[in-house]
Amino acid sequence: MTGKKKAAKASLEAMYRVFTVPEAPESTLSRIDKDISSNLAGFLQDHIVAIERDLSDVEKDFAESAIPEKPIFVSEQTQFLLDKLVANSVHTAAPSFIGHMTSALPYFMLPLSKIMIALNQNLVKTETSKAFTPMERQVLGQIHRLVYQQDSAFYRKWMHDPRHSLGAMCSGGTVANLTALWVARNRAFPAEGSFRGLHEEGLFRALKYYGHEGAAIVVSKRGHYSLRKAADVLGLGRDALVSVETDESNRIQTDALRDKCLELQKQKIKIIAICGVAGTTETGNVDPLEAMADIAREFGAHFHVDAAWGGPTLFSRTYKHLLRGIEEADSVTFDAHKQLYVPMGAGLVVFKEPGLASAVEHHAQYIIRKGSRDLGSTTLEGSRPGMSMLIHSGLKILAREGYEILIDQGIEKARTFARMIDDQADFELITRPELNILTYRYCPEGVRQALAVADELQAEKMNACLNRITKFIQKTQRERGKAFVSRTRLEPAWYYHFPCIVFRVVLANPLTTPEILEDILKEQRELSKDEGIADEIDILQQMAAVVLKQSQKAARQA
C-alpha cells in the first residue's frame, strides 16, 4: 500500500468511527450530556453567563467565514460551544424571563427529544416514518377534537383516512397560518367551467376569471405579523392584509369588521379569509370569535383563527369559554412550542372539514403518491422531523388536567401581577390580562396625575418622554441579565392613540413566583433612577409640574 493510499484508508476509518463509536463516557460532551440530564436548571444557571456583553463583541467569536480545512476533536468544539455560544445564550427557561413566549420545558421533553433525534424519521412519507405517521395523525386528530368536539365516530372515519388529513404539522405558527391561508386562497377561486382553479392557473387568471379587482384577508390590527408575511408570500401583496380597528380591549370591532367587508365587496375585492385572533401576541386578548364566524359566513369567507398562543386555553374548564366560537372556524393555528411546552420548532393547523386540505394537495413520483398515507401531500414543508412525538407525549403525560393547571395558574398569576402593578403608584398598567399576558410601564405618580388632565399636545410630549424612559429601562434590565420583559408599542385611547412604548409580560413559566415579579418591578424602579435616564426623568417631572399647575389654575378659575 502506498503512503497516499494508507492515508486515505486512515481517514476513511476515522470517518467510520465518527458514525459508529459514541463519545467516551468521560469525554467533555458525555459529561455535559449527563449534567443536562441530571440537573438541567443547574447546567443552564452554571453556563449561561448573563453579563452585559454587546452582540458586536460576541460576533468576534463567530467572525471566520472560511470553513475549516482540518477536523478538530469533538471535545474542542464542545468547549468552544460552552464558552462562546452557551455562555452567551439566553436563559429562556429562567423564571424571571417573562418577556417572550419561550418558556421552561418539562424535564421529560429532553430525553424524549433524544429518542426523536436518534430515530431521525422523516414525516414526509411513511417509508421514512412508518408508525410516526399514524402517531402524527392521532395528534392532529386530538387537537382537532379539542377544538371541534366531533364525536368518536367522526375520528374513526377520518383520522387515519389516507386520502384526507385533519390538519398539517408545521415548524411553527407562521407556516401554520400560511398553510391555512394558502388553503383559503385556493378554495376562494376553485375550478369552474373552463377555469382549472387558482392552484393550477394562478392568481392573475383567477381574479380575471371571477371578475374581481383584488383579494383580501381581514384581521384586527393586532393580528400577528406572520399574516402580513403570508399575504406577501401568497402573491396577494401586503396591502391585501386589511386591518380593522380594535376596541379598548384590543379585540376586533365587529361593526368595523362588517363595514370593512361591505366596502371590500363594493370594490369587487374578494374576501379570502377573515382571521380571528385567540391570544394577541402583544396583549393576549381574544377576538369575539362567534360574531366573526357569523360575518365570515355572511361574506362567504374562510374563517381562520390564529390560536398559536391561546389555543391551549381550551384545556381549562374555567377559561375555555373565552375562546367560544373557535369551533366555527374553518381552520385553527396551534403552536406546540408555546403553551404545549414542546421544544422550539413545532406548530400545527387543523381544518374543520376533512376535505379542506385537498385544496393544496400535491404528489410526486417517488413519494407521496396518490392514495398513499404519506403526510407530505398536504404540508407546505417537505422533509420534517417527528416533533409530533413530543406533542403526543405531552398530551399523555401531562394530559388535559396537567395543561389545565398550567393555563389556570398562568392566567391567575397575570391577574396577581396586574394587581401588584395597580397597587404601585409609579407603575401604570396599560392592558389588563385576559389570558396570561399584560403590558405596563413605569410612570412616576405626579406624571400620571398630570397625564390625567393633560391636553393632547401635553400628553404627547409626556408620553414621548415616557417612551424613551421605558425603552431605556427595558434595554438596561435585559442587558443586566437578571430579568427580562419585552417591549412593544400600543396606542391607548385615553392618550389620544399616541403610540406608547410599554413593557410586555408573558406569564407561562410555572416557576415564576410573585416574589420574582416583585423583584422585577423593584429593579425597574431602581433603573428609573439611573444616571443614564436622569435628564429625561427631570424633564418629564418638570412637564408634569407645569401641566398640573395649569390644570389647578384652570380649576380655580372655573
Q: Which of residues 490-509 bind a copy of itself (CB under 8 A)?
A: 504
Q: Identify the CA nearest to 215 among candidates 196, 202, 224.
A: 202
Residue from 234, 443, 459, 517 binding a copy of itself (CB under 8 A): 234
Site string for a copy of itself, 238-257 (x = CB under 8 A): xxx-----------------
Spatial separation of the C-alpha atoms in residues 527 and 525, rounded to whole Å: 5
Residue from 448, 461, 489, 525 binding a copy of itself (CB under 8 A): 489
Residue from 6, 46, 192, 202 binding a copy of itself (CB under 8 A): 202
Per CB under 8 A, 402 contacts a copy of itself? yes
Smallest gap, in angstroms, from Cβ of residue 297 to a copy of itself? 25
| Residues 13-52, interacting with a copy of itself (CB under 8 A) | 14-16, 18-23, 25, 29-30, 32-33, 36-41, 43-44, 48
Spatial separation of the C-alpha atoms in residues 279 and 301, rounded to whole Å: 21
Spatial separation of the C-alpha atoms in residues 186 and 496, rounded to whole Å: 41
CA 157 to chain centre: 32
| Residues 129-168, interacting with a copy of itself (CB under 8 A) | 129-135, 137-138, 141-142, 144-146, 152, 155-156, 159-160
Q: Of 122 and 541, which CB lies nearer to a copy of itself in the complex structure?
A: 122
Smallest gap, in angstroms, from Cβ of residue 532 to a copy of itself? 20
DSSP assignments along 228-287, one per residue: HHHHHHTTS-GGGEEEE-B-TTS-B-HHHHHHHHHHHHHTTEEEEEEEEEBS-TTT--B-
Which span sits near a copy of itself by CB under 8 A: 399-407, 447-455, 515-523, 525-533? 399-407
Smallest gap, in angstroms, from Cβ of residue 74 to a copy of itself? 5
Q: CA dist 163 to 83, 147, 159, 362, 506, Å?
A: 50, 22, 10, 12, 40
Which span sits near a copy of itself by CB under 8 A: 244-252, 286-294, 362-370, 441-449? 362-370
Q: Which residue has the cell 390560536?
A: 307
| Residues 169-198, interacting with a copy of itself (CB under 8 A) | 171-175, 178, 182, 185-186, 196, 198
| Residues 371-390, interacting with a copy of itself (CB under 8 A) | 373, 380-387, 389
Residue from 106, 420, 448, 550 binding a copy of itself (CB under 8 A): 106
Q: Of 458 and 474, which CB lies nearer to a copy of itself in the complex structure?
A: 474
Q: Which residue type is seen at 38?
A: S
Smallest gap, in angstroms, from Cβ of residue 332 to a copy of itself? 15
Q: How many CA atoms lie within 13 A of 108 on its CB side?
A: 10
Smallest gap, in angstroms, from Cβ of residue 82 to a copy of itself? 9
Per CB under 8 A, 228 contacts a copy of itself? yes
Which span sits near a copy of itself by CB under 8 A: 59-67, 259-267, 292-300, 418-426? 59-67
Decide the pairing of beta strands 486-490 and 500-506.
antiparallel
Spatial separation of the C-alpha atoms in residues 81 and 92, rounded to whole Å: 17
Spatial separation of the C-alpha atoms in residues 110 and 86, rounded to whole Å: 17
Per this entry, what is the length of the chain? Answer: 558
Smallest gap, in angstroms, from Cβ of residue 143 to a copy of itself? 8
Smallest gap, in angstroms, from Cβ of residue 167 to a copy of itself? 13
Which residues, listed in sequence order, are joined to residue 196 by a DSSP beta bridge? none
Residue from 79, 163, 210, 233 binding a copy of itself (CB under 8 A): 233
Per CB under 8 A, 515 contacts a copy of itself? no
| Residues 281-320, interacting with a copy of itself (CB under 8 A) | 281-282
Q: Of 173 and 288, which CB lies nearer to a copy of itself in the complex structure?
A: 173
Burial of residue 245 (number of CB atoms within 10 Å: 0-12, 13-18, 19+): middle
**Residues touching a copy of itself, count (CB under 8 A):** 183
| Contact in structure between 327 and 309 (CB atoms under 8 Å) | no
Site string for a copy of itself, 336-355 (x = CB under 8 A): -x-----xxx----------
For the beta sheet containing 427-431, the strands, ordered from the edge strand earlier in sequence to the opposite edge, are 427-431, 437-442, 500-506, 486-490
DSSP assignments along 127-140, one per residue: GGTTTHHHHHHHHH
| Residue 90 falls in which region: left (phi positive, over 0), alpha (psi -120 to 50) or beta | beta
| Residues 204-223, interacting with a copy of itself (CB under 8 A) | 204-207, 214-215
Spatial separation of the C-alpha atoms in residues 301 and 146, rounded to whole Å: 23
Which span sits near a copy of itself by CB under 8 A: 422-430, 480-488, 523-531, 536-544? 480-488
